[in-house]
Amino acid sequence: MHFEGVVLDLDGTVYRGGEPIPGAPETIGRLRERGCSLLFCSNNPTKGREAYVDRLAGMGIEATADEVLSAGAVTTRYLRDHHADDLLYVVGSSGLREQLTDADLRTTDDPEACEALVVSFYRGFDYDTLTDAYLAGKDGCPFVGSDPDVVIPTETGMVPGSGAIVGAVASILERDPDHVLGKPSSEAVAMATEALGVAPTRCLMVGDRLDTDIAFGERAGMTTALVRTGVNDDADVVESDVTPDHVLDSIADVERLFD
């Protein structure tokens, strides 16, 4: 099939930590030569679009801000659309906070002034943070998670991600989040489709996770390809309810899916 659009996950697919997956820069360059519309789509909520552009450039991969979609961007738009006037109590990185501030959203450091609780990846998460999150959400205010990734790949192996922190807060509040953004949410699908400008049936989704990347592609109506360079492998495919259309060793094999 000749795909007109390709959605590429980043962590575990295009790069792992600070190093590109072997063959990624060359493959992405050839996809551009084919005239594909590209979208780099990450569930990492900690960085704005320009930071991703700079990070990719450092690996020899060209991208524009319009070609980047992150869980932070999806979360920001959702909050702007549904909680524009609310005081947000944020358990999250300074990078996510900057994205919210840039969108003119209001945040508070007082958990008891919270009108909507936002939980995301935060390296400083500790007992006091969990206590404050409980105080913020105990009376039932809206509870939003930035993304569901429980673990994320790095150069040294897997480490906890946003989903682990969202899960900890959910356990103490004894309720699930009202919304979890990032892939595979319907909000992420809508923003990706809008950015690509290509019919989903003419698009390929490439990622390393079944529950986020491949589920996202399925929900969008895209052809899906799982790569073995990140979280999931063939054994996971056998046990999963989410089935990729293709399983590849790495992003370097993507072109063989084209006619």
What does the alpha-carbon distance between residue 192 and residue 40 come to, in Å, rounded to a whole number? 9
| Encoded amino acid at 94, one letter | S
Among the listed residues 11, 86, 211, 213, the single catalytic one is: 11
Query: Which strand ranges, in their side-by-side order, compose the sheet holding 223-227?
Result: 68-70, 37-42, 5-9, 203-207, 223-227, 246-248
* Percent composition of the chain: helix, strand, coil (DSSP 3-state, to 5): 40, 20, 35
Q: Would you say 80 and 116 are in contact if contact means Cβ atoms under 8 Å apart?
A: no
**Residue 128 vs residues 111, 115, 135, 169: alpha-carbon distances, Å:** 12, 20, 11, 12
> Which of 67, 81, 41, 84 has the alpha carbon at shortest distance from 189?
41
The token duo for 188 is 């992420």
State yes or no: is 213 an active-site residue. Answer: no
Question: Positive or negative, the Cα torsion across 180, 235, 18, 6?
Answer: negative
Query: Which strand ranges, in their side-by-side order, compose the sheet holding 143-145?
Result: 106-107, 87-91, 116-119, 143-145, 179-180
Among the listed residues 9, 132, 208, 211, the single catalytic one is: 9
State yes or no: is 233 an active-site residue. Answer: no
Query: What are the residue numbers of the active site?
Result: 9, 11
